[in-house]
Amino acid sequence: MPLSAFVLRDTSDPHQDVNLALSTLEQKLCRHFSRIEIQGKRGRKVPILLTPAMKESLELLVEKREECGVLKKNTYLFAVPGSMSNYRGSDCLQQFVKDCGIKNTMSLTSTKLRKHVATLSKVLNLKDTELDQLADFLGHDVRVHRQYYRLPEGTLQLAKMSKIFMALEQGRLGEFKGKNLDDIHIDPNEEIEVDQEPEENEESEDECGDKNSTADVTTQMTESTQSGNCDKPCAVYSQKTGRKPFQRRPWKKDEIDAVEKHLKTFLLRCQ
C-alpha cells in the first residue's frame, strides 16, 4: 500500500444530494468509516474501509515514520526501517496465524477470507447490482468467481432440492404451483392427515356378517363361526379351488422291476 493512498484519501463528507438517497443508518456509516483506494490486480481499484481506531493508528504510524528510521524515499505506508522495501500483509497474517496455534494454517488467508465472505453473502439474497458491488469491493470478477457467491452444492441440495422431494412424497406438490424454491415452506416434521376412508371400506368387507358373502364361503366356515366369534372365521374359511382329490395307487410289478434294473447300483450304495 503506497503512502499516498492514505495521506491523499478523500476526507470530504458526502454531498447533501447524495445523502437524500441514503437512510439514516447509512449516513451514520458514511461518517463512521474512512475509505481509501489501492491498486489491485490488473490495475483495478480495490477499496479499503477503515474504522476510527485503524485511522488513528495509521495517522500515528505516518507521524512517527522518521523517528522509526524509515527512509524519506520509501513510498510505502508499511515501510521497513532503513530499507526501501515494505512489509507484506500476507506474510504478517500468516505469522499471526501460526502464533494463534490453529491446526490448519492454510484456512486463514486473505484469498479464502474474501471467498468465504462471498459465499456467506448468499444468505442475504442480494440483487444483481448489489452482488456486482460486493464482488468489485472484494476485488472479484463476478463472472469468474460466481461459484463463490453461491451456497455449497451439498448445502444447496439439502436445503433447496429436498423441498421438492418432500412435497412430492407428501402429495403436496400442487400446493406450491408458481412458487420458486425460496417461497416453498415445508416442515420435515409436519404430520400429514391421511384419508381413512379406504381403510374403513376394507374393514367393512372383512366383517363376518357381510350379506354379500358367497354360498361357497358360508359352507366352509367352522363351528366357531356359528358361535358368533368374528375373529377366527376370517382366518379359517377358504374358497373352493376346483382341483380334484388325488388318489394314491400301489406300484405295479413291472414298474418295480424297471426301477430295480436301472437304479440297483445306487440302491445298494444307499444313494
Which helix H or strand E contains 39, and what residues bound it? strand 34-39
Contact indicator for 1, 78 with CB cutoff of 8 Å = yes
140/148 Cα distance (integer angstroms): 10
Q: What number is the average pLDDT over the span 254-259? A: 82
The lowest-confidence range among 70-74, 112-116, 142-146 is: 142-146
The lowest-confidence range among 116-120, 187-191, 205-209 is: 205-209
Which helix H or strand E contains 153, and what residues bound it? helix 153-156
Q: What number is the average pLDDT over the span 103-128? A: 75
Q: pLDDT, tens digit, for every residue of 134-153?
A: 777 777 766 656 665 565 55
pLDDT of residue 56: 95
Whether residue 36 has pLDDT greater than 80: yes
pLDDT of residue 46: 81
- Cell representation of residue 231: 375373529
pLDDT of residue 61: 94
Q: Where are the domains of the chain?
A: 1-87, 88-150, 153-183
Q: What number is the average pLDDT over the span 168-182? A: 76
Mean pLDDT of the chain: 74
Q: Is 186 helix (H, G, I), strand (E, B) or coil?
A: coil
Whether residue 159 has pLDDT greater than 90: no
Whether residue 102 has pLDDT greater than 80: yes
Q: How many CB atoms lie within 10 A of CB 64?
A: 10
117/83 Cα distance (integer angstroms): 35
- Cell representation of residue 86: 515494505
